[in-house]
A and B are shown apart, each in its own frame.
Chain A
């Protein structure tokens, strides 16, 4: 068995093996080289692979993400790192208008094998311009694949699979996860970028989540277990294309669903999940679907305010209890 490692280390290993395995792969981003990556994912890679493969970019998100699109079109396999999801808004044009559209717009003549990684999410008192959860926006866009690795296995395995995808892939790495450690279940991690995973089986209620909300959703499930409630936890992992079959399968068994989403409730990704449950699993449900989401406020700085804004173990547990109608 392999030793325990952090999510960050698993990501670095994934980069190392991608860069080592294919000379077309290069990493482009702000401070990915000499600085070692703002979250230290790429530390040491510059020394190992040199400046042609680990490319420090100026603070030009639109420019270097667009250049990543062009480089992918030109035959390279770029990984573009964006420091944080909020900065990705400066690059929405090349991502949405170009990368996601090009295959269709060109009648299938061109495709964009580009991987874009970015840190996302709140919980570190970084306030309203470094803390948001906008993966649902990206998951809205046809032409993109959207991944949310939440485990060491996924951090290790998803990048290589994303590079093999002939179309653009956006990977959201929750900043709270970088220091989380775990043990790989397989040497290369989990390379599946098409399916959700049941992280905890259970028969009473299905908790559905992804990314940074997975650890606290599992903590909520553990707390519910102490009270005799057997909660299943489904980790979506892939937000587009969405694997609802795994969700329906669990919900058919538990007949109750709680959706845990770190983005804002209004128009958030949980709203899409909820709608699909209504459309396809309505008669399997014994209770209305519950959503646990972030309060409708730009993420505030002060610790107690930030905590109050975000889904917490207690709010997940409370939602599950509501869903169970006081039977637990």
Chain B
């Protein structure tokens, strides 16, 4: 199935910004993989490569008054949200100048300035959090919605079902963004859900639902825009974006559960190259411009790695800070 069946409908600035954000994520993630190989990043590292259209398409629709809750595969969301690449990379290097002073690592990126609430590595754990944040936004009377990203695997958790009901019952401004990448680690959706129509699950609780091709950043942005508008008007929404993770679940995953041909078929639908081709075909963007953009992004990522590599480590004397306010 081709990606994107109609011309890119955005003006050039928006169109290029979508490309730039996807490229930033891709190059940042490639650098993460490389640094993992070099031993500079340890622990679990979950790469987002293949799913870039989701973060790039949805996150820029959020304003500074909005909040964002994500999962342990959240580098892309944090980057697009505006958390500095060097602060993210330093966190993954476990350095004192990382966004969480080296306490979180890849799975727990947080940033108060951009209302980025993690970085939650319990599958489904972010969903009730989002309901509460949205309740607080509603009660305070200030503008602001909460976008909560999670994978389709989270929909088997009770947390999804309880949160979907609470959000609809209390009518809080929450946008539930399900990144359906078809595998919960190694378990395919059809092996974990009797009903694989995910919007059906959400609709059953009274959430407004929408679905789009998560490989097509144009479709993601347009669909998310409609959903965000609805949430801002007070209706909690569920948005399913059908996507695919090109890399292994984590760096420890031998990928025994899926066929190479399947991965190749999805790679052919990759969000970055298909979108770039569309922009070029439409005459919105040239090869020289693309190369310049790629160089600019590569420089940002290189600088982030250099910053992280030379960043100070937190001394062990600081071990017990930030457990409670007093400690």
A65 vs B127: C-alpha distance when bound (angstroms): 12
Tell me how far the C-beta of A253 lies from the nearest C-beta in chain B, rounded to whole angstroms: 29
**Do B108 and A106 touch (CB < 8 A)?**
yes
**Do B139 and A76 touch (CB < 8 A)?**
yes
CB of A142 within 8 A of chain B? yes
Q: Which residues of chain A are within 8 angstroms of B170 by Cβ–Cβ distance?
A: 55
Given contacts A58-B169, A60-B165, A63-B165, contact A93 B129 (CB under 8 A): no
* 8 Å CB contact of A60 from B67, B108, B166: B166
**Do B110 and A110 touch (CB < 8 A)?**
yes
A56-92 Cβ-contact flags toward B at 8 Å (1 or 0) = 0110101111111111111110100000000000000
**Do A108 and B322 touch (CB < 8 A)?**
yes
* 8 Å CB contact of A108 from B120, B136, B321: B321
**Do A110 and B128 touch (CB < 8 A)?**
no
Q: Which chain B residue lies CB-closest to A74?
A: B136
CB of B4 within 8 A of chain A? no
**Do A64 and B133 touch (CB < 8 A)?**
no
B118-139 Cβ-contact flags toward A at 8 Å (1 or 0) = 1110100101111111111101
A227 vs B110: C-alpha distance when bound (angstroms): 61
Chain A residues 218 to 271 lying within 8 A of chain B, measured CB to CB, are 241
The count of chain B contact residues (Cβ–Cβ below 8 Å) is 45
CB of A306 within 8 A of chain B? no
Interface size class of A (residues with CB under 8 A): 35 or more
CB of A2 within 8 A of chain B? no
A223 vs B41: C-alpha distance when bound (angstroms): 63
Q: Which residues of chain B are within 8 angstroms of A52 by Cβ–Cβ distance?
A: 139
CB of A189 within 8 A of chain B? no
Q: Which residues of chain A are within 8 angstroms of B159 by Cβ–Cβ distance?
A: 62-63, 66, 93
Of B95-103, B192-200, B256-264, B292-300, the one contacting chain A is: B95-103
Given contacts A62-B162, A70-B129, contact A105 B103 (CB under 8 A): yes
A107 vs B108: C-alpha distance when bound (angstroms): 10
A137-172 Cβ-contact flags toward B at 8 Å (1 or 0) = 000001101000000000000000000011100000
Given contacts A52-B139, A62-B162, contact A69 B321 (CB under 8 A): no
Q: Which chain A residue lies CB-closest to B109?
A: A106
* 8 Å CB contact of B136 from A60, A70, A104, A241: A70
Given contacts A60-B165, A63-B162, A70-B128, contact A107 B136 (CB under 8 A): no
Q: Which residues of chain A are within 8 angstroms of B163 by Cβ–Cβ distance?
A: 63, 66-67
CB of A179 within 8 A of chain B? no
CB of B206 within 8 A of chain A? no
**Do A64 and B166 touch (CB < 8 A)?**
yes
CB of A103 within 8 A of chain B? yes
Chain A residues 94 to 128 lying within 8 A of chain B, measured CB to CB, are 94, 97-98, 102-111
Tell me how far the C-beta of A202 lies from the nearest C-beta in chain B, rounded to whole angstroms: 31
Given contacts A52-B139, A93-B159, A103-B322, contact A74 B133 (CB under 8 A): yes
**Do A68 and B132 touch (CB < 8 A)?**
yes
Q: Which residues of chain B are within 8 angstroms of A58 by Cβ–Cβ distance?
A: 162, 165-166, 169
Chain B residues 282 to 327 lying within 8 A of chain A, measured CB to CB, are 321-326
* 8 Å CB contact of A98 from B111, B129, B169, B324: B129
Given contacts A106-B108, A107-B104, A107-B322, contact A74 B128 (CB under 8 A): no
**Do B119 and A72 touch (CB < 8 A)?**
no
A103 vs B323: C-alpha distance when bound (angstroms): 6
**Do B136 and A143 touch (CB < 8 A)?**
no
* 8 Å CB contact of A73 from B98, B117, B324, B325: B117
* 8 Å CB contact of A142 from B111, B120, B323: B323
Q: Which residues of chain B are within 8 angstroms of A75 by Cβ–Cβ distance?
A: 136, 140
CB of B82 within 8 A of chain A? no
Chain A residues 156 to 206 lying within 8 A of chain B, measured CB to CB, are 165-167
* 8 Å CB contact of A104 from B118, B140, B323: B323
Given contacts A60-B166, A75-B140, A107-B100, contact A70 B324 (CB under 8 A): no
Given contacts A73-B132, A109-B112, contact A104 B103 (CB under 8 A): yes
A96 vs B127: C-alpha distance when bound (angstroms): 16
Q: Which chain B residue lies CB-closest to A168?
A: B324
CB of B43 within 8 A of chain A? no
Given contacts A75-B136, A109-B112, contact A63 B128 (CB under 8 A): yes
A283-295 Cβ-contact flags toward B at 8 Å (1 or 0) = 0000000000000
**Do A62 and B133 touch (CB < 8 A)?**
no
Given contacts A62-B159, A69-B132, contact A167 B165 (CB under 8 A): no
A320 vs B103: C-alpha distance when bound (angstroms): 46
Q: Which residues of chain B are within 8 angstroms of A76 by Cβ–Cβ distance?
A: 135-136, 139-140
Interface centre among A73, A93, A106 (most CB of B within 10 A): A106
Given contacts A63-B162, A63-B166, contact A69 B325 (CB under 8 A): no
Interface residues of B (CB under 8 A from A): 67, 98-104, 108, 110-112, 117-120, 122, 125, 127-137, 139-140, 158-159, 162-163, 165-166, 169-170, 321-326
Interface residues of A (CB under 8 A from B): 26, 52, 55, 57-58, 60, 62-76, 78, 93-94, 97-98, 102-111, 142-143, 145, 165-167, 241
Identify 7 new A-B residue pairs, CB closer than 8 A, beyond the known A67-B166, A70-B135, A111-B325. A58-B162, A71-B139, A73-B129, A75-B140, A103-B322, A108-B321, A109-B112
